[in-house]
């Protein structure tokens, strides 16, 4: 029988961890890495049958994600974030995909992003395909400061059933995420030596692209609030980068 491990890292995710881990109980193994949490994340994780590890938190997220996938012992590895969830229909599709003869090295999977009480169909939020499932040993994380990305040896295919993402579990949680990713995005701009004027224009071009050209307005009030939130997040990173360049 072909086996699947879940690999997950978490830092101060006590509100999300129970939902995420409950959705993984079908897997043959769950590798959980707590990254220096100071809330109830560790206790929440230990309430489930996980292969538990504890490591210092790192702003370079790929470091601990790479560690997590290296602890997996199954034939295949599925990367899941602590604020995500695997529906039952996707779990069944994952099982069938890895057991099929001639399966590729990895799979991309659509992701439903839930904001302000609904999942968004427009504004660039769906299908938001993510490369998350791969044969153990065939993928690794590239050393990127933000938006960590897997490099795969071999063919990549696509699955049809989506998984779910809940980035707005509470105002405090989201504010913390915004601050963290704002700093990391500014660091990414700096490493790429991006033009500061173009970076300051980016929040406006992103808003026009997602809210108008990609029909974000069709998601109603949630679409409006999400477009405004994205604008604010990218503007925060742009201002950090601009001030750094002037310093």
Looking at the structure, do residues 153 and 85 belong to the same domain, yes or no? yes
Q: Looking at 132, 165, 198, which one is the last position of a domain?
A: 165
For residue range 65-76, list pLDDT tens digits in order: 999 999 999 999
Question: Which domain does 92 fall in, by range?
Answer: 4-165
Identify the pLDDT of residue 183: 77
Identify the pLDDT of residue 184: 77
- End-to-end CA, the chain: 58
Q: What is the sign, positive or negative, of the torsion defined by CA atoms of 177, 18, 2, 72?
A: positive
Identify the pLDDT of residue 197: 82
Looking at the structure, do residues 130 and 43 belong to the same domain, yes or no? yes
231 by DSSP, 3-state: which?
helix
Looking at the structure, do residues 75 and 191 belong to the same domain, yes or no? no
Q: How many domains does the chain have?
A: 2
User: In CATH, what number is assigned to the domain containing residue 136?
Assistant: 3.90.550.10
Q: What is the sign, positive or negative, of the torsion defined by CA atoms of 224, 10, 95, 91?
A: negative
Point out the residues of the chain with pLDDT beneath 50.
247
Identify the pLDDT of residue 246: 54
Question: What's this model's pTM, rounded to 2 decimal places?
Answer: 0.92
According to DSSP H, which parts of 86-155 are helical?
A: 88-99
Looking at the structure, do residues 13 and 54 belong to the same domain, yes or no? yes
Looking at the structure, do residues 91 and 195 belong to the same domain, yes or no? no
Identify the pLDDT of residue 158: 98
Identify the pLDDT of residue 215: 97
């Amino acid at each position: 029988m072909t086996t699947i491990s879940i690999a997950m890292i978490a830092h101060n995710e006590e509100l999300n961890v129970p939902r995420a881990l409950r959705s993984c109980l079908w897997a043959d193994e769950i590798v959980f890495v707590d990254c220096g949490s100071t809330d109830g994340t560790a206790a929440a994780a230990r309430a489930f049958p996980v292969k538990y590890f504890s490591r210092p938190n790192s702003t370079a997220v790929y470091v601990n994600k790479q560690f997590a996938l290296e602890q997996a012992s199954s034939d295949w590895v599925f990367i899941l974030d602590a604020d995500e969830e695997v529906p039952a229909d996707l779990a069944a599709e994952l099982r069938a995909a890895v057991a099929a003869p001639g399966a590729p090295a990895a799979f991309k999977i659509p992701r439903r992003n839930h904001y302000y009480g609904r999942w968004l169909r427009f504004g660039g939020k769906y299908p938001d395909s993510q490369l998350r499932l791969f044969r153990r040993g065939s993928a690794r994380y590239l050393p990127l400061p933000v938006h960590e990305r897997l490099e795969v040896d071999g063919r990549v295919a696509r699955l049809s059933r989506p998984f779910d993402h809940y980035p707005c579990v509470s105002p405090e949680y989201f504010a913390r995420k915004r601050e963290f990713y704002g700093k990391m995005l500014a660091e990414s701009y700096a490493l790429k030596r991006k033009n500061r004027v173009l970076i300051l224009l980016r929040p406006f071009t992103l808003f026009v692209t997602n809210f108008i050209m990609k029909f974000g307005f069709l998601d109603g009030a949630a679409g409006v609030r999400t477009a405004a939130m994205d604008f604010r997040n990218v503007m925060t990173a742009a201002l950090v980068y601009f001030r750094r360049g002037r310093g």
